[in-house]
Amino acid sequence: MADAAVIEKLEAGFKKLEAATDCKSLLKKYLSKAVFDQLKEKKTSLGATLLDVIQSGVENLDSGVGIYAPDAEAYTLFSPLFDPIIEDYHVGFKQTDKHPNKDFGDVNTFVNVDPEGKYVISTRVRRGRSMEGYPFNPCLTEAQYKEMEAKVSSTLSSLEGELKGTYYPLTGMSKEVQQKLIDDHFLFKEGDRFLQAANACRYWPTGRGIYHNDNKTFLVWVNEEDHLRIISMQMGGDLGQVFRRLTSAVNEIEKRIPFSHHDRLGFLTFCPTNLGTTVRASVHIKLPKLAANREKLEEVAGKYNLQVRGTRGEHTEAEGGIYDISNKRRMGLTEFQAVKEMQDGILELIKMEKEM
């Protein structure tokens, strides 16, 4: 059971949320008094409480979601709060639904969406993974960070062929290496205020690092927001090549490192917006004619469940008419379906741009 000091902080946090009438987070929407009272004394076997779940959203009232999972068990123990938020965010994934089993499908179905190289600047597909038996950021000890890094770096160092590369720990990184990784847009920074408030940045930079292959088309972030962010990317529109590279990498890593998986929710990560397939497949794409009518662009994108963002991700502008367009759905469909939906949508957008 949670101790008195934690419960006192929780009560204060709940009052703060109640008083914040202009707060629009999913946390505020679904943390009713009844749910709060039902969960406030609970504690996972690793010692995580409701406070670990909600503290970022209490601290940052402008959060969109406002909750994180301190460990895998939290998704089950605090399900009266997580489940409705997951259903709301992952539109169409109801509380009675079960995420399908992992299925990469026939990877040869995926193509180069822009063989002429006129529209797509680059293509990227990423997945998040958590290592089984370890909690997520807020509950990790310094020793666990180091142990995880050792396991992951030795696994990655054994990759061969196109995936062969180098692991760069953030600890003790030289200025030259740091600059090189910044120039390649590979280096991640310490978390933003939302992650800081969730206690996701402790012992920084211990246990954090970056692996990339020699061609700079395959990248793994270790212990950033998630235990592992596995990324495949390249210039141009060859989604097939990008997806096949990622799939073979994930399969290789999984042979040596078991991942956290939940029967109903699929692959588990720190943030409930990133469950199930955890797949985000995106392109940087120039669509000058369609972009002139942002509403039209959004409408077509919506039809294929695509998300349109500015060039540098969420809440940014499109620089030089270049958009970041990705699949929106991660839950309730397979990895194959999620990426296929994105491919179909991008092909349709290019077709429309050509016809305008």
pTM (2 d.p.): 0.92
Catalytic site includes residue 126: yes
Structure tokens at 111: 């193509």
Whether residues 79 and 124 fall in one domain: no
Residue 68 has pLDDT above 70, yes or no: yes
User: Using one digit for the tens of pLDDT, what is the confidence trace for 316-330?
Assistant: 566 677 899 999 899
Q: How many other CB atoms are there within 10 angstroms of residue 117's CB atom?
A: 12
Known binding-site residue numbers: 122-126, 185, 229, 280-284, 309-314
Structure tokens at 125: 């597909």
Structure tokens at 71: 């460990």
Whether residues 158 and 85 fall in one domain: no
Q: What is the pLDDT of residue 319?
A: 66
Burial of 164 (0-12, 13-18, 19+ CB in 10 A): middle
Q: What is the pLDDT of residue 39?
A: 98
Q: Which of 126, 245, 329, 330 is catalytic?
A: 126
Catalytic site includes residue 330: no
Beta bridge partners of 123: 234, 283
Q: Is residue 101 included in any domain, yes or no?
A: no
Whether residues 141 and 258 fall in one domain: yes
Mean pLDDT for the chain overall: 94
HSE of 271 in the Cβ direction (CA atoms, 13 Å)?
A: 25
Which of 44, 74, 89 delimits the end of a domain?
Answer: 89
Work out the angle at residue 91's Cα, subtended by the Cα atoms of residues 125 and 270, and round it to the nearest 5 degrees: 55
Backbone CA torsion sign across 25, 26, 29, 31: negative
Tell me, rounded to whole angstroms, the distance of Cα 218 from its chain centroid. 17
Whether residues 59 and 176 fall in one domain: no
Work out the angle at residue 189's Cα, subtended by the Cα atoms of residues 187 and 190, and round it to the nearest 5 degrees: 145
Q: What is the mean pLDDT of residues 231-254?
A: 97
Whether residues 12 and 160 fall in one domain: no
Known binding-site residue numbers for ATP: 122-126, 185, 229, 280-284, 309-314
Catalytic site includes residue 23: no
Which of 36, 66, 89 delimits the end of a domain?
Answer: 89
Catalytic site includes residue 87: no
Whether residues 214 and 346 fall in one domain: yes
Residue 314 has pLDDT above 80, yes or no: no
185 confidence band (pLDDT: 50, 70, 90): confident
Catalytic site includes residue 271: yes
Task: Work out how many domains the chain is built from and give that number.
Answer: 2
Q: What is the pLDDT of residue 293?
A: 80
Domain hosting residue 153, numbered range? 120-355
For residues 13 and 309, give the distance between their C-alpha atoms in angstroms, rounded to a whole number.
Answer: 32
The domain that holds 346 is classified in CATH as 3.30.590.10
- Residues of the chain with pLDDT > 90, as a percent, come to 85
Whether residues 157 and 297 fall in one domain: yes
